[in-house]
Chain A
Amino acid sequence: MTTSEMTPNLPPVTTPPIRWRRALVVGPPLAWLAALVLVPVAIVGKISLSQSAIAQPPYRPQLAWTLDAERWRAFVGGLGIDNFRTLLADDLYLLAALSSLSIAALSTAILALVGYPVALAMARASARWRPVLVAAVILPFWTSFLIRVYAWTAILKPDAWSSRTLMELGLTRGPLAILNTDTAVVLGIVYAYLPFMILPLYATLERQDATLLEAAADLGASRMQAFWTVTFPLSGAGLAAGCLLCFIPITGEFVIPDLLGGSDTLMLGRTLWSEFFANRDWPLAAAVAIVLLAALLGPIVALREIETRRQDARG
């Protein structure tokens, strides 16, 4: 609401400066985001409908900044859905899409199973310890993602010190043989994304009202019953947020499948990368990007919904 609406008696001279000042605050970030988020995504959409060409840049038709109707007609006529036909016709792309989603779903499930007990333990720790534990979970997140993934390539090497120690301890029969397999990819993902699962869960669990558990105990519930009927249902929003915060980036993950996976580990992020860098088929890479976005649209909207509701609940 502007000043003029609240105080119509004031001369209108005072209103322009406030609008003008607000425009100075809103304008730069809005213009930046429009130019570097909105426009680029629109360009991806346009190029996914273009054809690959041996040219610089390697696609056509090129957008023409002209008012010449004939050239615009030629431009629109040059667009088509051929790239999406290619994606559908080749099993490789379909498999990559399915494999991305299933690896992301499996990793997210494991993350929830591993992350929940840790978050619960953090929430149960004494108030003095909690900030220390939160910091301990966040610190690896500040450490380079690439290095944390790279660490696993060193650990999982069949002839590595870690592998021989496991054998000597009798925990494994032969050398570790999981590097360059989907198992290593899931392990690396669970490792890299664990803080993303623990922190939202902890935030929900930590705020829970302790008197609810006392009430459950007074009513004769065992500790297990109290957990499953009170604590767990009340942590639903945090669990959903943690799962989506992991699932969305994992589906588009490139670094982990590339470093820990085998040549047969198919994931959309890797497919997009190789179409772009190895095959130099920019329009097809753009089409893969559109498919990836379409697959993630549901989860992204759901996450937005949960976050908005959690903010409203906080007031």
Chain B
Amino acid sequence: MRRFGPGDAVALGLGLAFLYLPILYVVAFSFNASRLVTVWAGFSTRWYAALAQNTALREAAWVSLRVALAAATLATLLGTLAAVALARFGRFPGRTLMTGLVYAPMVLPEVVSGLSLLLLFVASGVERGIGTVTLAHTTLGLPFVTVIVGARLGLLDRELEEAARDLGAGPVMAFWTVTLPLIAPAVAAGFLLAFTLSVDDLVIASFTSGPGATTLPMRIYSQVRLGVTPEINAVSSLMILAVTVAVAVSGLVLRRRSSATR
């Protein structure tokens, strides 16, 4: 690549400003003293205090957290199994079908996934609620886990597993003691992505959820439709903070791990 020039600095600067300014705008206005979201009236934390009183939002956050934990766990288990099958088993009956089905949820428009899952739940007489949203979000996250873990498996030196087998380990033992520790960062990244996709999803949750299972994005969406409120700015800022901390911590952990193994 050619050397980094002044034009590149401008492109990067503008690009990153475009990506970050709207987020900073929301955070700044979450500390606005005025109820009007359009006028700056001095610094205040009153909207964070108001948030603590908002039981509807808190309940929705709790629903989202439970759904995301369960869905990301299931998606990580199933997605890792699928990745192992696709990366290690060569040809097996159902391989083509599996490849296609792993790919499909990543490219299906959200409204189509949501509608199709809802129609499945209705046709099979399942009562809609936290359970059905969890099933839907597991399906949403599974392919991404498979892609991330599969990429890592593809880079792994197969001889390590073969060495373990030669030394007498069974396939399960070899996977557990050799392969799994080596793909652990990818499994963790897959879990994190599946978790984020679940916490973030509005459309699929709206279709598949039932009474008493309002997720955080559903609650935020219904409040946003009524107008911009400082409380939503505050809850958004808290979510942005949580994501930033999570990404920073996982980045540090992964870096330490990779330097430790080297």
Contacts and interface: CB of A to CB of B under 8 A. Distances in A.
Interface of A: 1, 18, 21-22, 25-26, 28-30, 32-41, 43-44, 47, 57, 63, 114-115, 117-118, 120-126, 133, 135-140, 142-148, 150-155, 157, 159-162, 191, 194-195, 198, 205-206, 208, 210, 213, 223, 226, 231, 248-249, 251-255, 259, 268-269, 272-273, 276-277, 282, 285-286, 289, 292-293, 296, 300, 303-304
B23 to A, nearest CB: 6
B260 interface: no
Contact of B38 (A118, A160, A194): A160
A79 B63 CA distance: 39
26 contacts: A22-B92, A25-B89, A29-B85, A30-B97, A30-B98, A32-B138, A35-B120, A36-B135, A37-B104, A40-B116, A40-B117, A115-B15, A121-B9, A126-B4, A150-B228, A153-B224, A154-B29, A157-B38, A160-B37, A161-B38, A161-B39, A252-B109, A269-B110, A276-B115, A289-B115, A293-B112
Interface of B: 1-5, 7-9, 11-12, 14-16, 18-20, 22-23, 25-26, 29, 37-40, 77-79, 81-82, 84-85, 89-92, 94, 97-98, 101-105, 107-113, 115-117, 119-120, 122-123, 135-136, 138-139, 142, 146, 171-172, 196, 199-200, 202-203, 206-207, 217, 220-221, 224-225, 228, 232-233, 236, 239-240, 243-244, 246-247, 251
B98 to A, nearest CB: 5
Contact of A157 (B105, B108, B228, B236): B228
Contacts of A162: 25
B220 A146 contact: yes
Contact of A145 (B37, B119, B200): B200
A208 B2 CA distance: 10
Contacts of A63: 123
Given A44-B115, A121-B12, A29 B81 contact: yes
Nearest to B117: A40
Nearest to A273: B111
B40 A161 contact: yes
B2 A213 contact: yes
A38 B111 contact: no
A28 B22 contact: no
Given A32-B138, A144-B217, A205-B1, A151 B22 contact: yes
A152 B22 contact: yes
Contact of B247 (A33, A43, A139): A139
Nearest to B32: A161
Contacts of A121: 4, 7-9, 11-12, 15
Contact of A34 (B5, B14, B101, B246): B101
B232 A137 contact: no
Contacts of A138: 247
Given A124-B4, A146-B200, A154-B228, A43 B111 contact: no
A154 B196 contact: no
B135 A150 contact: no
A21 B172 contact: yes
Interface centre among A34, A118, A303 (most CB of B within 10 A): A118
Contacts of B240: 143-144, 147
Contacts of A36: 117, 120, 135-136, 138-139
Q: Dominant SS at the B interface? A: helix
Contacts of B233: 154
Given A36-B117, A150-B236, A191-B22, A144 B199 contact: yes
B101 A296 contact: no
Contact of B19 (A1, A140, A231, A259): A140
A274 B38 CA distance: 30
Contacts of B29: 154, 161
A39 B244 CA distance: 38
A152 to B, nearest CB: 6
Contacts of A268: 111
A204 to B, nearest CB: 11
Contacts of B84: 25
Contacts of B239: 143-144, 147
B81 A40 contact: no
Nearest to A223: B2
A154 B107 contact: no
B15 A117 contact: yes
B16 A41 contact: no
Given A34-B101, A121-B9, A160-B38, A142 B196 contact: yes
A154 B26 contact: yes
Given A117-B15, A125-B8, A223-B2, A150 B25 contact: no
Contacts of A37: 101, 104-105, 108, 139
Contact of B102 (A33, A231, A259, A289): A33
Contacts of B89: 22, 25-26
A293 B81 CA distance: 28
